[in-house]
Amino acid sequence: MVLRDPGSTSPLRIWLDSRNTGRPGGTGVATYTTGMRQCFTQMGCDVTYLWDRAPDATAPPPNTPARKVLRFMHALLPFPTRVRRRQRPDTGERCWFVPDLFRLANVHFRIWNRPLRLCGGQPPAIMYSTYPLPFLVDDAINVVTIHDLIPLTHPELTGIDRTFMEKLLRRQVALADVVVTVSETVRQQIVDMFHVPADRIFNLYQPVSITDAERRAMEATPAIAPAGCFLFIGRVEARKNIERLVAAHALSGTARPLVIMGPDGDDQPDFTPRTPRQQIIRIPWCSRESLLRTLRDAHALLFPSLAEGFGLPIIEAMALGVPVLTSRGGATGEIAGDAALLVDPLDTGDITQGIAALDRMTADTAQWQQMVARGHSQAERFSPAAQIERMTPFLAHLSRLSATGR
């Protein structure tokens, strides 16, 4: 099915924000953005990014004092900001951009308590924001993605300003045409907290895939961690339950090292070994190929997070045939289904027992084989094909909204 722009024979035009694309180390939102673009493209849409810089600029301008003054003066203006269009010098591809867009929109919202309005530039049928960003595009259907409400439900676990985020989310939920989220857990939280009508909020989950090219690159990548380790992947911060994980790993008595892979987070949890025998290996964020190689070679993924909106490593591990231990309840329990070993993330003893149980399993045991088989089946629920199936009625709904002017 190829959807068309209203009143046109051209494919449905969609802009995605570029805020999380190309960031060093990558983020879960960046993976989400890339996956959604691929799905929209496969569905026949004309998809491009809305950038915060001109196509001949490799990065946003430095955030100098002079730049901050200019940004503040621009943000004071009460009328819409024009979107510019230019062709990329290398490919000739058209590029839509607003210089300094994301910082400018943030300052504008803090001043006016409303999103920055963007106009001109031949607006698309749909502006699909992959994150709650404080701007809206005039004459387009504006979709905002809310991945989680952690700054509101667990403010002690994040460095994000709760007051600002709640104000931003309330305004975006009220003004956006459609709200999208990535799990039923978060969808229900949004409904309960913001009283969003059912026909304005959609749970699309998230496409998760490991391509053939990635698998080939993974095979050719040197190992950076010992095979058979226990592995944690994610930001190293209190929200990820690092200290209980390290304590449980020590108490389990396993001889397998615990590899903690990911960038530093908002705080600094203590991941030093709890016993002389315990081995902790800390690996900063690495290339995608190295991450996948380490995950594939791991004995199991340990992911007893305290709060998530989705839990991307869970499905990536299952897709690679790696058993998973994760938190019972919430989004992690929803995403893992019956394919993971679920534990109480607040109970170090329960996490310990889970690690010990996984430690005793081997590839020839029935329980191991069952976990791997169920994991593969669960991962298929989030494949690009399954995602496109979920997105087809959603995109048809957006097309109808666009055709009727909402």
Q: What is the pLDDT of residue 2?
A: 46
Q: Using 50, 70 and 90 to split pLDDT, how confident is the model at 199?
A: confident
Q: Using 50, 70 and 90 to split pLDDT, how confident is the model at 84?
A: very high
| Average pLDDT rounded to a whole number, residues 33-51 | 96
Q: What is the pLDDT of residue 1?
A: 43
Segment 353-377, tens digit of pLDDT: 999 999 999 999 999 999 999 999 9
Segment 227-281, tens digit of pLDDT: 999 999 999 999 999 999 999 999 999 999 999 999 998 898 999 999 999 999 9
Token pair 């396993």 is found at 254
Segment 143-160, tens digit of pLDDT: 999 999 999 999 999 989
Residue 182 CA to residue 172 CA, distance in Å, equals: 17
For the chain, state the CA radius of gyration.
22
Longest dimension (CA), the chain: 70
* DSSP structural state of residue 11: B
For the chain, what percent of residues have pLDDT higher than 70?
A: 96
Task: Evaluate if pTM is beyond 0.85.
Answer: yes
Q: What is the pLDDT of residue 23?
A: 61
Domains of the chain: 13-207+384-403 (3.40.50), 212-380 (3.40.50.2000)
Query: How far does the chain reach from its first CA to its final CA, in angstroms?
Result: 22
Residue 86 CA to residue 346 CA, distance in Å, equals: 52
Least confident of 81-90, 182-191, 213-222: 81-90
Q: What is the pLDDT of residue 121?
A: 72
For the chain, what percent of residues have pLDDT higher than 90?
A: 84
Strand partners, 179: 144, 201
Q: Using 50, 70 and 90 to split pLDDT, how confident is the model at 8?
A: low
Q: Are 278 and 267 in contact (CB under 8 A)?
A: no
CA distances from 17 to 48, 181, 307 (A): 9, 16, 25
Neighbour-count burial of 66, counting CB atoms closer than 10 A to its CB (0-12 exposed, 13-18 middle, 19+ buried)? exposed
| Average pLDDT rounded to a whole number, residues 16-37 | 83
* Residue 399: pLDDT over 80: yes
Mean pLDDT of the chain: 93
Residue 320 CA to residue 301 CA, distance in Å, equals: 11
Q: Using 50, 70 and 90 to split pLDDT, how confident is the model at 5?
A: low
Least confident of 20-34, 36-50, 278-292, 328-342: 20-34
Q: How many residues can be counted in the chain?
A: 406
